[in-house]
Structure 1
Amino acid sequence: MTPFVRHVGIAAALLHHNIDTDAIIPSREIRTVGKDGLAHGLFANWRYCDVATREPEPDFVLNQPQQHGTTILLTGRNFGCGSSREHAVWALVEWGIRAIVAPSFGAIFFENCIRNGIAPVVLPESDVKTLANSVSSDPQVHLLTVDLMRRELLGPNGISHSINLGEEERDQLLTGLDPIGRTLQQHSTQIEAFEAEDRICLPWMYVSTEDYKTTYP
Structure 2
Amino acid sequence: MKQGSIVVCASGCRGEELISIFRALGEVGINSVRVSVKPGYIYGKISGASRTQQYAVPPFSLIIEHPSKNIVEVLASKHECLEIYTIDIDSWIDTAVLSITGYLDIYAKINRVVEECGEERIEYNHILLDFGCEGFSCRDIYVFDYINAPYSWAGRILPFNNVYREVLRKASSEKLMKRLLCYAIDEKGEYIEVAVLEVGKTKYYIKINISKNCQLIKEYIAWLLLDLLLG
Q: Tell me which interval the TM-score lies in, with the shorter structure as reference length.
A: under 0.3
TM-score of the superposition, structure 1-length normalised? 0.27
User: Who wins on radius of gyration, i.e. which is larger?
Assistant: 1
Greater per-residue strand proportion: 2
Greater per-residue helix proportion: 1
TM-score of the superposition, structure 2-length normalised? 0.26
